[in-house]
Amino acid sequence: MTSPTALMSAKREFVKISDENKISHYFSRKTIIGDITICARENAVIGLHFGGRYFSEAENAESEIIRKAFAQLDEYLEGSRRDFDIKLAYDGSNFRVSVWDQLRRIPCGETKSYKEIACGAGNPRSCRAVGKACGKNPIPVFIPCHRVVGADGNLTGYAGGINLKKKLLKIEKTTAISPC
């Protein structure tokens, strides 16, 4: 007999949930940048994934926090929102959390280099570690790792791909609202 999870769309990626990152709800839907899955634990967003995802240990339901997160994401992608005011929760090493906190301080429409983030996180020689922390960012877009660029201003890796990084930065540069 085929399990229910084996019947899910081939486009979905199956994810095992660890106890420290256990989610209670998740929901996937299409946006103008493709399929997005948002995950929540209690009243905080704990994950954003590009593409459809299935979590066997959580309820596939659009909870109030997920509904609010998608509404704010849609406004951002349409250019009518520059900042998010939803509650986020993320776990990681002290250094990673420090980097993610630094990323949240980069104003919409601006970029910072890995070195600038490393300095802000208290370790100017940790540029590569900043890159790894960006790569492990559990809530991209809401924690804007797409705003981090190389020392020469060139775009570097992004979980959603360089083209998506370009698109997000373009949205921020051309937004109809006045700068922060």
The residue written with tokens 């209690």 in the block is: 42
**Residue 176 vs residues 81, 109, 155, 166, 171: alpha-carbon distances, Å:** 9, 12, 24, 18, 9
Q: Which of 26, 12, 31, 121 has the alpha carbon at shortest distance from 74?
A: 31
145 is known as an active-site residue: yes
Q: Which listed residue (39, 119, 145, 180) is catalytic? A: 145
Is residue 146 within 8 A of residue 169, CB to CB? The reply is yes
Number of helices (H) and strands (E) in the chain: give both, helices first: 5, 8
> In this structure, what token pair is assigned to residue 54?
């299935």
- The C-alpha atoms of residue 165 and residue 121 are separated, in whole angstroms, by 23
Write out the catalytic residue numbers.
145
